[in-house]
Amino acid sequence: MTIQNMTRQDLPSINALWIGEKLNAISTACLISFIKHGHQVNLYTYGEISNLPTGVHVLDGSTILDKSKIIKHQKSGSFALFSDIFRYALLSKIKNGIYVDCDVYCLKPLTIPEHGYLLGYENDSHINGAVLALPADSSMLNTLINLSNQPYFTPEWYSSYDKMRLRIKRLFGYANTLSTMGWGVIGPSAITHYAKKLNITNLVQPVDVLYPVQHHEVNKLLDPSLSIHDVTTLRSVCAHLYNETLKNIDLKQINPNCILAKMLYNEI
């Protein structure tokens, strides 16, 4: 079945997580972008959201993981760590669905390949999980879930020196729990490592499909001389806006002709 003759019921659902009482402007625009392209959008939350966009279905996050499981990254205070754990649990429980971060903007309808894997390189060497679908019975998903359930975590891809450093810290009472580990350790780092170990890198989408704009290139989204066609290819179906990189920008002050401004008004 081609995308052209797919109905809303045929397209996979889009599933996202939000922790907080109010969506920011980027997340609002991103969720709406998937609705515009025909997807059912399910937003999992742990409380009321005051500015929910029309058409977004709100679901209880505790049906996937109990609220008591919510953790923050110790250094940054970010919930990104919990969202990594949440997406793996989610994918084990839903059918014909894709997890997306709330800062992913849809450019075309998304489909899941017949083999069941939808994930993509964000650069030449790293795979991101901001857009993710994995077969519920796959070794990849089960490995990631088991990893996220470990109380004390030593990444097997760490160097011998780093592994020894973590063991010594544990001996002195400084446990290497997930919340104390480096940014993305249970997310892109783990996904990249196990995709290689489990020999599924041949199923990973090229950079331009899911991540045409890399995190160090987000300034291109603010350049009024560029159009969306300058930063994407014909294969691009979405763009990751890297909210962590953009969060300190005053969106009210950006040029109205830049790509990001047009995304905020869902004009792309």
CB-based contact 135:65 (threshold 8 Å): no
Provide the residue ranges of all domains of the chain, joining segments of one domain with +: 3-264
| Predicted local confidence at residue 206, as pLDDT | 98
The residue among 230, 228, 222 whose CA lies nearest residue 261 is 222
| Predicted local confidence at residue 2, as pLDDT | 43
Q: What is the pLDDT along the chain (268 residues), one digit of tens a residue?
A: 345 555 666 899 999 999 999 999 999 999 999 999 999 999 999 999 999 999 999 999 999 999 999 887 766 677 888 999 999 999 999 999 999 999 999 999 999 999 999 999 999 999 999 999 999 999 999 999 999 988 777 888 888 888 788 777 777 767 677 766 666 788 999 999 999 999 999 999 999 999 999 999 999 999 999 999 999 999 999 999 999 889 889 999 999 999 999 999 999 9
The domain 3-264 having CATH identifier 3.90.550: the answer here is yes
The residue among 128, 192, 180, 126 whose CA lies nearest residue 153 is 180
| Predicted local confidence at residue 104, as pLDDT | 99
- Tokens representing 268 are 């792309």
Q: DSSP characters for 130-174?
A: EEEE--TT-HHHHHHHHHHT-SS---TTS-HHHHHHHHHHHHTT-
101/27 Cα distance (integer angstroms): 9
CB-based contact 96:235 (threshold 8 Å): no
- Tokens representing 249 are 């920008």
| Predicted local confidence at residue 262, as pLDDT | 98
CA dist list (Å): 219 to 5, 88, 107, 232: 36, 31, 19, 14
- List phi, psi (to 5°) of 20: 145, 170
| Predicted local confidence at residue 230, as pLDDT | 98
10/183 Cα distance (integer angstroms): 36
| Predicted local confidence at residue 75, as pLDDT | 67
| Predicted local confidence at residue 183, as pLDDT | 66
The reported pTM is 0.93
